[in-house]
Amino acid sequence: MGERYLKSIRLLAECMQGFERLSGEHVRQCGLTHAQFDIIATLGNTPGMPYKELGDKTLITKGTLTGVIERLEQKGLVERERSLDDKRSWFIRLTPRGEQLFREVFPRVVSLGAAVFSGYGDDDFAALEKTLSGLKQVITAGGA
Amino acid sequence: MGERYLKSIRLLAECMQGFERLSGEHVRQCGLTHAQFDIIATLGNTPGMPYKELGDKTLITKGTLTGVIERLEQKGLVERERSLDDKRSWFIRLTPRGEQLFREVFPRVVSLGAAVFSGYGDDDFAALEKTLSGLKQVITAGGA
DNA sequence: TATTGTTATACTCTATAACTATA
DNA sequence: TATAGTTATAGAGTATAACAATA
């Protein structure tokens, strides 16, 4: 009785795993690892963000993040700029080439989604968004 | 217009990330890595399954799986048995100690869930299960 | 010939802790 | 003292390909 949510969690995990199975191939094809794509996707469509914030959003610890950013920098996909306010801090953003990759890869992953959701109507999306929003809220509230 | 599902995918990813953030600590505390917990959780509450099936379910490729299973075997948490039907194949199951760990760790992760979902009623669960089931169906159909 | 699982390789991620520079 | 990020270390996951045994 107290474990009904287990079914939901299992479903949630299966959905994510299914989506990763679909998208993973495209991610690898463009020469990115999972962690690297995570960074690119997080920086995409933003003006960039502080190093710290990037680590918090992607759940990558600072020691690891240094290496991941370094490899993306070597590939010319992201760039770092020292913050003026706080000289300890760095601001990370996609380079034009990084932006280009984001715009190439994301739509490819996205087109998979488009096919998957071709049968979804407005009501279906509304229901999905509503339930997931609620779920997100209780989950993140529990962590804070 | 054709990209409305992006919002749902983002929500889905955020929910999973939130849940991993909550559960990750407990997983690590019992000395398991993410991949190892994935195996334990997949084998839990089953009589075991062939090596191949385990790899398919966890998305761990065969070369990697050998190492992960090896480390779990060294810890005395899983055991392998040669299949009688097909001598190339192995059957993997939790040892009694592995079962015990599963029963200790899973409830701890589960108790987090119980707190998170304390405000959910029958209708909330029904809605969540319905939308996620539909999502799972279209995602896995697209992959097959 | 195809499939199951192992081995080998090279690289990436990971947690952790000690460290530097700035606040 | 505290925080942002780097460096060092040891272990684990990852893709890939070549390989053995079996089907």
Q: Domains of chain A: which residue ranges? A: 10-103
**What letters, b where the CB count within 10 A reaches 16 and e where it falls short, cover B74-107?**
eeebbbeeeeeeeeeebbbebeeebbebbeebbe
pLDDT tens readout for residues A87-134: 999 999 999 999 998 887 766 665 666 666 777 888 888 888 888 788
Do the Cβ atoms of A2 and B127 come within 8 Å? no
Start-end of H helices in B2-121: 5-29, 34-43, 51-58, 62-74, 96-116
More confident residue, A129 or A72: A72
**Lookup: tokens for A37:** 């794509």
Does residue A1 surpass a pLDDT of 80? no
B126 interfaces chain A, CB cutoff of 8 Å: no
Which residues of chain B from 83 to 102 reach within 8 Å of chain A, CB to CB?
A: none
β-partners of residue A91 are A50, A81
Q: Is the CATH number 1.10.10.10 carried by domain A10-103?
A: yes
> Residue A30: what pLDDT?
81
Residue pLDDT, tens place only, B53-108: 999 988 899 999 999 999 999 999 999 999 989 999 999 999 999 999 888 777 66
Question: How many angstroms separate the CA of residue A3 from the nearest CA in chain B?
Answer: 7
Q: A126 at the B interface (CB within 8 A)?
A: no
Looking at residue A102, its pLDDT comes to 85
B49 vs B138, more confident: B49
> B28 — contact with chain A (CB < 8 Å)?
no
pLDDT at B125: 84
Q: What is the pLDDT of residue A68?
A: 97
> Which class is B11-115 in CATH?
mainly alpha
CA distance B135 to A123: 13
